[in-house]
Chains A and B, each alone.
Chain A
Amino acid sequence: MSAVLININDILVEESRFSLKGFLFESDLNKASTEDSFKHLGILHPVIVCEDKDKRFHLIDGKKRIQFARQSRTEKISAIVLAGSTPVTDIVTLILSDRRSEIGQSVINKILFICFSEAVGAPESWILNALCVQFGFKPYIEFLKDCKRINDLPEKIKLFCHEKKFSMKQILNLPHYPEDILLQLMRWRSEIQLTASTMDELASNLKDHLRAQNRTIKDFVSENEVQEVILSSMSPRDKTERLRKLIHAKRFPVLSEINTRIEEKVSQLNLPENISLNWDRSLENKNVDITVHVHEPTKMKKSLNTLNSAEMKRAIESILDEL
């Protein structure tokens, strides 16, 4: 297919039906190197456009070339013009092969590309069998609905997913959390260490706690305990830990109360460093593990005396009663 010269002003760029705007988080690094190349070598390759029935050219590939040409006040640009009858799946495949490295940078980019394909009218069956399989996603119809829900998330959440390289499982959870909770967590981003897994845990526990108590995220944020953590001079890491514990205690009040009681019992034992007591903190297993670390045989006797003490036996009985 040979290239022809067309007026740049006749090309729809942002308004192109094949624009990836909102469907792809691009890498700034690539952008800089491409600009460098244009400056030194000029535009070497033709852009690709698709002509619609109103004779408008929808840009498929070459956004940066168009931008450079406009900056250089060039009026015409070399372009390969695809007929309006070109199957949309062929165009999507073309875009994918051109932008594969960027699309593959994060799970959210792949999901957004699936949404883009749907938006330009690619058939669901093709998206499932060609795209999902290629991206390593399970090809089932419900997944396309999940993709749509993910695409409906606020832009800053999607960008966060891209930057923090959220896994598929972590992204799939996000639409199930109320938006106001997610946005609040984003607001705390400068105060706490928000990773993908922390965000998932905090959002999940907050959602269930607030539903159970019939309260809002605003109510929660205005609580004194929460304000104390967020406004404290602790490091972001310590703040995150405190906030996690606070929310966990509110989400699991019975577990927290019993585990705290057991911790106090263990602490009162003043065990030597080489002996530790562990239990199932979900309280499901009625079982206490006693671990003794022995480095020198001479210290065996002392450890055994501690284990055999009446105080230890009482404590174990008491912990087992709690479990």
Chain B
Amino acid sequence: MKTNTLNYKDGKKEVQAVPKKGEAMGACATFNRKYICCNVQVLRSVHNCPFECSYCFLQNYLNDGTTKSVHNIDTLMEEVKARISREPQRLFRIGTWELGDSLALEDRTGQAAKLIQEFAGLDNAVLELKTKSACVDPILKLDHKGKTVVSWSLNTEYIIKTEEHRTASLEDRLSAMHKTALAGYLIGLHFDPMILYTGWENDYEKLVDQVFNAVSPDRVAWISTGSLRFNPEMKKKMENNYPDNMLTCAEMVLGDDAKMRYVKPLRVNMYQLLYNALRRYISTDNLVYLCMERWDVWDKVLGYHPDSAEHLDHIFAESLNRRFGLMHPIKKI
């Protein structure tokens, strides 16, 4: 049967409800042993996104750009339950954001709400919904039992305006974050991708101020930071799709994970500035990590590095258990 496929941009206009096909849960696609990965698991429940970030890898990734949302949550959850039951002593963090935004389509699909209710009943898993939207109203009154972390991908107002097209403004994201924290959800903060431009230093410091004006660090489950990175073949796509963007002419090198990223001294400089800004608000209790970075960058910025992805996974579990009692006590089997 011939199927009609849409290109990346046209596919953003409509949402198709589709059944789950094949395995939906797995390791984050960026996983690479040369960099320290946080070992989060991803649940591929959405496919494409209504937003148009100029740096988004989806513009070079999707063969069929049709926006799809998996509708049979029961089948999705069967796979999740089977997977997490194989390691009952591990606390799984499971995100739905790999191929799209976790909440941007919520008013049309109701998918996140169903997942939140399902995860509320799981002992050893936490759901992470990551978004650049302000669509939180449909989930505010749910009985989430503290098993869902609602995260925001955050950037400066300048970057949101120039690169994150059609996403919610910073003000709207922060207002949504405030409401979500009041609804008892834990919050995740992802300052990623950090992007260099004239004036980035002041803007990222200001961003940190604005974020902690909206949410208390006590309710923040984790904070990540990462810098702009993309596959080399994305360069042409980005230049074709967004001719005015200046991201691709920055000083970048090809990493061992076959992704272009800023040269290391520039990355370290960015992370140090952000971390220093964060430290004005957070305590040593807050978990801060770097997304897909080298061990020596961790050392330079955070003063230590996890030994492996599994070690970082353990650091997460320990932090969530100690701060929020999230990791179930080890059960006697």
B is bound to A: yes
Residues of A near any B CB (own CB < 8 A): 176, 207-209, 211-212, 251-255, 258, 282-286, 323
Contacts of A283 in B (CB 8 A): 253, 263-265
A211 contacts B246, C-beta separation under 8 Å = yes
CA distance A212 to B296 in the complex (A): 28
Query: Which residue of A has the minimal Cβ distance to B254?
Result: A282
| Interface residue? B17 (CB, 8 A) | no
Contacts of B248 in A (CB 8 A): 208
Contacts A284-B294, A286-B296 given; indicate if A211 touches B249 (C-beta within 8 A).
yes
Residue count of chain B within 8 Å CB distance of chain A: 17
B294 contacts A253, C-beta separation under 8 Å = no
- Out of B236, B263, B294, which one reaches A254, CB within 8 Å? B263
B249 contacts A212, C-beta separation under 8 Å = yes
CA distance A212 to B251 in the complex (A): 9
CA distance A253 to B264 in the complex (A): 13
- Out of B239, B251, B254, B265, which one reaches A176, CB within 8 Å? B239
Contacts A284-B253, A284-B256, A285-B256 given; indicate if A252 touches B246 (C-beta within 8 A).
no
**B82 → A minimal CB distance (Å):** 38
**A246 → B minimal CB distance (Å):** 16
Contacts A176-B239, A283-B253, A286-B294 given; indicate if A212 touches B246 (C-beta within 8 A).
yes
| Contact bitstring B244-280, A, C-beta under 8 A = 1, else 0 | 0010111101111000000111100000000000000
- Out of B251, B254, B264, which one reaches A251, CB within 8 Å? B251
Residues of B near any A CB (own CB < 8 A): 236, 239, 246, 248-251, 253-256, 263-266, 294, 296
Contacts A176-B239, A285-B256, A323-B296 given; indicate if A209 touches B249 (C-beta within 8 A).
yes
**A146 → B minimal CB distance (Å):** 10
Grouping DSSP codes into helix (H, G, I), strand (E, B) and loop, the A interface class, with mixed when no group exceeds half, is helix
Contacts A212-B250, A255-B263, A258-B265 given; indicate if A284 touches B255 (C-beta within 8 A).
yes
Contacts of A208 in B (CB 8 A): 248-249
Contacts of B294 in A (CB 8 A): 284-286
B263 contacts A252, C-beta separation under 8 Å = yes
Question: Which of A252, A283, A284, A285 has the most chain B CB atoms inside 10 A of its CB?
Answer: A284
Question: Which of A176, A207, A253, A282 has the most chain B CB atoms inside 10 A of its CB?
Answer: A282
CA distance A288 to B266 in the complex (A): 21
B256 contacts A254, C-beta separation under 8 Å = no
A255 contacts B256, C-beta separation under 8 Å = no
Contacts A208-B248, A212-B246, A283-B264 given; indicate if A255 touches B253 (C-beta within 8 A).
yes
CA distance A285 to B35 in the complex (A): 11
Contacts of A254 in B (CB 8 A): 251, 263, 265-266
Contacts of B256 in A (CB 8 A): 284-285
CA distance A121 to B255 in the complex (A): 45
CA distance A254 to B265 in the complex (A): 8
